[in-house]
Amino acid sequence: MSKIAVIGGGIIGVATAYELAKLGEDVILFEKNYFGSGSTFRCATGIRAQFTDGANIRLMKYSVERWERLEEELESEIGFRQTGYLFLATSEEEVEAFRANVRLQNRFGVPTRLIDMAEAKEIVPILNTEPFLAGAWNPKDGKANPFKTLFAYLRKAREMGVDAREHTPVIGLEREGDEITAVKFGGNGGMESIKVDAVLNAANAWAPLINAMAGLRPDLVPIIPYKHQLVKTEPLEGGQVEPLVCPPSWNDAYIIQDGEDGGIICGAGIEHEAKSLDDYEPTYDFLRGVLRYAVKIAPPLRYAHVVRQWAGFYAKTPDRNPAIGRLLDNLYIAAGFSGHGFMMAPAVAEAMAELISKGRSKVPLDWEWYDPYRFERGELRTGAFQIG
Q: Which residues bind ligand FAD (CB under 6 A)?
A: 7-13, 30-33, 37-40, 42-46, 169-170, 202-206, 228, 230, 312-314, 335, 337, 339-343, 388
Q: How far is the CB of 209 from ligand FAD (least distance, A)?
A: 6
Q: How far is the CB of 228 from ligand FAD (least distance, A)?
A: 4
Q: Name 308's Cβ contacts closer than 8 Å, sequence gap at least 6.
A: 231, 232, 263
Q: φ, ψ for residue 258 (rounded to 5)?
A: -55, 125
Q: How far is the CB of 340 from ligand FAD (least distance, A)?
A: 5
Q: How far is the CB of 244 from ligand FAD (least distance, A)?
A: 7
Residue nearer to ligand FAD on the CB measure, 31 or 252: 31
Q: How far is the CB of 48 from ligand FAD (least distance, A)?
A: 8
Give CA torsion, residues 115, 121, 127, 131, to 10 deg. Answer: 50
Residue nearer to ligand FAD on the CB measure, 134 or 326: 326
Dihedral sign computed on CA atoms, order 16, 384, 371, 38: negative
Residue nearer to ligand FAD on the CB measure, 120 or 170: 170
Residue nearer to ligand FAD on the CB measure, 230 or 298: 230
Taking the CB of residue 100, how many other CB atoms lie within 10 A of it? 10
Q: How far is the CB of 91 from ligand FAD (least distance, A)?
A: 25
Q: How far is the CB of 80 from ligand FAD (least distance, A)?
A: 13
Residue nearer to ligand FAD on the CB measure, 30 or 137: 30
Residue nearer to ligand FAD on the CB measure, 134 or 340: 340
Q: How far is the CB of 150 from ligand FAD (least distance, A)?
A: 8
- Specify which residues 244 forms β-bridges with: 85
Q: φ, ψ for residue 374 (rounded to 5)?
A: -65, -30
Q: What is the b/e burial string over 141-180, where b = at least 16 CB atoms within 10 angstroms of the residue's CB? A: bbbbbbbbbbbbbbbbbeebebebbbebebbebebeeeeb
Taking the CB of residue 378, how many other CB atoms lie within 10 A of it? 6
Q: How far is the CB of 237 from ligand FAD (least distance, A)?
A: 22
Residue nearer to ligand FAD on the CB measure, 44 or 216: 44
Residue nearer to ligand FAD on the CB measure, 16 or 101: 16
Q: Strand runs (DSSP E) across the chain, as ranges?
A: 3-7, 26-30, 46-47, 85-89, 113-115, 134-138, 142-143, 163-165, 170-176, 179-185, 192-195, 198-201, 224-235, 244-246, 254-257, 263-267, 272-273, 306-316, 323-326, 331-335
CB 317 within 8 A of CB 338: yes
CB 169 within 8 A of CB 32: yes
Residue nearer to ligand FAD on the CB measure, 129 or 309: 309
Q: CA separation (Å) from 100 to 30, 54, 300, 383?
A: 43, 12, 33, 16
